[in-house]
A and B are shown apart, each in its own frame.
Chain A
Amino acid sequence: MEFTPVIGLEVHAQLKTRTKIFCSCSTAFGAPPNTHTCPVCLGMPGVLPVLNKKVVDYTIKMALATHCTVQPESRFARKNYFYPDLPKGYQISQYELPIATGGYLDIDVDGRSLRIGITRIHMEEDAGKLIHDPDRPISRVDLNRTGTPLMEIVSEPDIRSPEAAGEYLRRLRAILRYLDISDGNMEEGSFRCDANISIMPDGSTVFGTRAEVKNLNSFKHVEKALYYEIARQKEILLDGGQVVQETRLWQPDKGQTVSMRGKEDAHDYRYFPDPDLLPLVIDDGWVDRMRAQMPELPAQRQARYMADYGLSPADARVLTGSRELSDYFEACLAVFDQPKTVANWIMGDLLGLLNTRGVEIENTPVSPENLAGLLELLDADVISGKIAKTVFEAMAETGRPAKTIVEEKGLVQVSDTSAIDPIVDAVIAGSPDEVERYRGGQKKLMGFFVGQVMKQTRGKANPKVVNEILAKKLG
Chain B
Amino acid sequence: MKITKAEVLHVAHLARLDIGDSDVDRLAGQIGTILDYVDTLKQVDTTGVPATSHAITLTNAFREDELQSHLDPEAALANAPEKDDGAFAVPKVI
Contacts and interface: CB of A to CB of B under 8 A. Distances in A.
Are A and B physically bound partners? Answer: yes
A18 to B, nearest CB: 5
A139 interface: yes
A24 B92 contact: no
B76 interface: yes
Given A25-B70, A42-B71, A279-B54, A52 B91 contact: no
Given A37-B76, A53-B65, A275-B54, A280 B60 contact: yes
Interface residues of B, number: 34
B70 A37 contact: yes
Interface in B35-94: 53-54, 58-68, 70-71, 73, 76-77, 82, 84-94
B26 interface: no
Contacts of B73: 32-35, 37
Contacts of A265: 13
A66 to B, nearest CB: 23
Given A141-B90, A268-B14, A278 B70 contact: no
B2 interface: no
Interface string A102-131: 000000000000000000000000000011
A91 to B, nearest CB: 15
Contacts of B53: 75, 273, 275, 279
A136 B86 CA distance: 16
A415 interface: no
Chain B residues touching A, majority SS: loop
A139 B92 contact: yes
B60 A281 contact: yes
A278 B58 contact: yes
A301 interface: no
A255 to B, nearest CB: 21
Interface string B1-43: 0000000001001101000000000000000000000000000
A317 to B, nearest CB: 34
A50 to B, nearest CB: 5
A395 B10 CA distance: 68
Contacts of B89: 138-141
A84 B90 contact: yes
Contact of A131 (B13, B54, B77, B87): B87
A138 B70 contact: no
B84 A138 contact: yes
B90 A138 contact: yes
A270 B14 contact: yes
B76 A34 contact: yes
A164 B67 CA distance: 40
Contacts of A38: 68, 70-71
Interface of B: 10, 13-14, 16, 53-54, 58-68, 70-71, 73, 76-77, 82, 84-94
26 contacts: A18-B66, A19-B67, A24-B66, A24-B67, A26-B67, A34-B73, A34-B77, A34-B86, A35-B86, A36-B70, A37-B70, A38-B70, A38-B71, A39-B71, A53-B62, A56-B62, A75-B53, A83-B93, A84-B90, A138-B82, A140-B90, A141-B87, A278-B54, A279-B54, A279-B59, A281-B59
Interface of A: 17-19, 24-26, 32-39, 42, 50-54, 56, 73, 75, 80, 82-84, 130-133, 136-143, 265, 268, 270, 273, 275, 277-281
Given A130-B93, A139-B91, A141-B88, 9 more contacts: A17-B65, A34-B87, A52-B65, A53-B62, A83-B93, A140-B89, A141-B90, A278-B54, A280-B59
